[in-house]
Amino acid sequence: MMWYNLAKAQSFMPTDGTEIAKQVDNLYGFLLITSFIACVLVIGGMIYFVHKYKRKSDNDKTAYISHNTTLEFLWSFIPLVIFLIVFAWGWYIYQDMRTMPKNAIEISVLGKQWAWEIEYKNGYKAVNEVVVPIGKDVKLLLAAQDVIHSFYVPSFRIKQDAVPGRYTALWFNANKLGEFHIFCTEYCGTSHSGMIGLLKVVTQEEFNSFMEKGQEEGQLPLVKRGEKLFALKACASCHSVDSPAVKVGPSLYKKFGSDEILEDGSKVAVDENYIRESILQPNAKIVKGYPRGIMPTFQGQINENELGALVEYVKSLSGK
């Protein structure tokens, strides 16, 4: 299959992480080659003719060819046959893609502005991170909380919209260990491009211990718990933590201990109380240059312990 490997090298498709992805790439390789030939024929024919029949004098006589039934039949029939072949080939793969396997591991995925909430059968929850075992059928049950999102794993060549008010689903069977990107591909507002997750394919043993570890959350140190919570509440969708880059809200990188300038021009020291107030009453003080009313309040949604953990985590971002 030399031709196919060649086509694949040209196509820049991401690594294929499933058997179906490989099949999709085969079909894509075939399409690339036939498209390339078609373009060479049409564009090449065009360039050859305009070069060969360049106007020589203003009195050139041209041939009067109004039509040619055989030729016209052929160039209608041949494309039709090719189109039907790729349609049928596509149908065949699509059927596999859309037929949900029985006895698959089921994981619920909830899309919301702007994070993926993952829930496993045993009640363990995570955000923006799906962990699955290699070589097992996995079915993702998709739902959306606010607007339409779309769950896309480029390396698996799968994509499905998560629609509010109903469930949709997709499945895969990963055959490569590693981490793969999850993107949201249905436009969902301010931080659509920040709704990035990771799909981790691990061995069965790692998966088992991951599921057990999920039960032991409570024993983590405060900073670690804060970090977990920061991810779980999707704070990272709007606040960067490892660089001063601005997402939706101000970056928290090295913010603790510095001074912040507010919209009325006054200064405020970033200390524990300021962070606490910003989480519980985000509109009490607005940093200069940012819009009011974007960040939702977390009053009543996190308890005192969790608040402490978050403050501790933000402190740790300053290296203090």
Partner 1 sequence: MGHSSAHGENYLNHEKGLWSWLTTVDHKRIGLMYMITVLFFFFVGGVMALLLRAELFAPNAVAGVGQVLKSGDIYNQVLTYHGAIMVFMVIIPGIPAILGNFFLPIHIGAKDVAFPKVNLASWYCFMFGASLAIGTFFASKIDTGWTFYTPYSIRTGTSTVMMVLGAFVMGMSSVLTGLNFIVTVHKLRAPGMTMHRMPLFVWALYSTAILQMLATPVLAITLLLLAAEKIFGVGIFDPKLGGDPVLFQHFFWFYSHPAVYIMILPAMGVVSELITTFSRKVIFGYTAIAYSSLGIAAVSFFVWGHHMFVSGQSSFAGILFSFITMLVGVPTAIKMFNWVATLYKGSIRFDAPMLYALGFMFLFAIGGVTGIMLAVLPIDVHFHDTYFVVAHFHYVMVGGTLMALMGGLYYWFPKMFGRMCSDAWARMSFVFIFIGFNVTFFPQFILGAMGMPRRYFDYIPAYETLNKVSTVGSWLIMAGFLISLYTLVRGLRSGEKAPMNPWGSKTLEWQTSSPPPHFNFDVEPIVTAGPYEYR
Within residues 8-67, the interface with partner 1 by CB under 8 A covers 11-14, 20, 23-24, 27-28, 31, 35, 38-39, 42-43, 45-46, 49-50, 53-56, 58, 60-67
Instruction: Give the shortest CB-114-to-partner 1 separation in angstroms.
Output: 9
Among 133, 154, 197, 250, binds partner 1 (CB under 8 A): 154
Binding to partner 1 (CB under 8 A) within 79-98 occurs at 79-80, 83-84, 86-87, 89-91, 93-95, 97-98
**Looking at beta carbons only, is 28 or 298 nearer to partner 1?**
28
The continuous run of DSSP H or E covering 92 comes out as helix 69-98
Q: How far apart are CA 224 and CA 216, in angstroms?
A: 13
Q: Which residues contact 308 (CB under 8 A, 6 or more apart)?
A: 222
Q: Does 3 bind partner 1 (CB under 8 A)?
A: no
Q: How far apart are CA 129 and CA 126, in angstroms?
A: 6
Tokens of 57: 């004098």
Among 160, 172, 255, 309, binds partner 1 (CB under 8 A): 160
Tokens of 266: 């006054």
β-sheet bridge partners, residue 115: 112
Q: Does 316 bind partner 1 (CB under 8 A)?
A: no
Among 103, 218, 245, 259, binds partner 1 (CB under 8 A): 245
176 to 205: interface string for partner 1, x by CB under 8 A: -----x-xxxxxxxxxxxx-x---------
Q: How far apart are CA 140 and CA 107, in angstroms?
A: 5
Q: How far apart are CA 102 and CA 77, in angstroms?
A: 42
Count residues near partner 1 (CB under 8 A): 90
Q: Which residues contact 197 (CB under 8 A, 6 or more apart)?
A: 115, 116, 128, 129, 130, 181, 182
**Looking at beta carbons only, is 129 or 206 nearer to partner 1?**
129
* Burial (0-12, 13-18, 19+ Cβ within 10 Å), 275: buried
Binding to partner 1 (CB under 8 A) within 246-285 occurs at 246-248
**Looking at beta carbons only, is 46 or 284 nearer to partner 1?**
46
Q: Does 292 bind partner 1 (CB under 8 A)?
A: no
